[in-house]
Amino acid sequence: MEHATKKAMASGVLVLAVIAGWTHGAAAHSFNVGLIVATDAPTQAQLREVRDGFLLAAAERDGHPDQESDGHLGGLDVYLFVTDLARAAPHGVRELLGREQIDILAVLGPDRAVAEIRPLLDGARPVLLGPGRLPSTIPSTFRESFESAFGYAPGPHAAAGYNAARRIDAAVRPLDGVDDTAALRQSFAATRDGLSWE
């Protein structure tokens, strides 16, 4: 009886260790992005454009039909949470950060919006991605892919969402994760003035 009890306890410990390993492994293969649209009172159509542009980039390299995430960036599952600063204001951003474990907070809009949001972030998480310069000429392949995927022509908001996702992909892919926050910041700074979409 005592031997059976010890064996059962050992099995229970093994099961807990395996569950803990699965949980840790799942967390290591995904990350969350908060996308803040900080232009003056964006319309629902503009917010949809930003989201669709982001999702297009998240589907390009590693996407697959049966995925449960919003897409893949850097070879990892990405989950996207979009809001706008005009309606959410700083308290809405704070609420998002309290509700979801956001790893990267991407701000699309003027630099002053980044300055407004930066004080809301305590500690190392999330890593802030400020606005980046778009290519001087938007490739026709982007326009064609976007229209094919979503059924309407992309505007500047779609391009901004796409660019943010491409910058995140460029930062995350060589790191195979989002744990190295210093390397993420360095990569985001390096792509601020432009990133090739080719």
Are 76 and 29 within 8 A, CB to CB?
Answer: yes
Lowest mean pLDDT, pick from 4-8, 55-59, 102-106, 183-187: 4-8
Residue 34, judged by CB atoms within 10 A of its CB (0-12, 13-18, 19+), counts as buried
pLDDT in tens, 48-79: 999 999 999 999 987 666 678 999 999 999 99
Sketch out the chain's domains with CATH numbers.
31-190 (3.40.50.2300)
How far from chain centre, in Å, is Cα 164?
9
pLDDT digit string, tens, across residues 114-153: 888 888 887 668 999 999 999 988 899 999 999 999 999 9
Q: What is the pTM of this model?
A: 0.82
The per-residue pLDDT for 172 is 96
User: Which pLDDT score, from 0 to 100, does residue 71 have?
Assistant: 92
Instruction: Report which residue type is found at 182.
Output: A
Give the whole-number percent of the chain exceeding pLDDT 70.
82
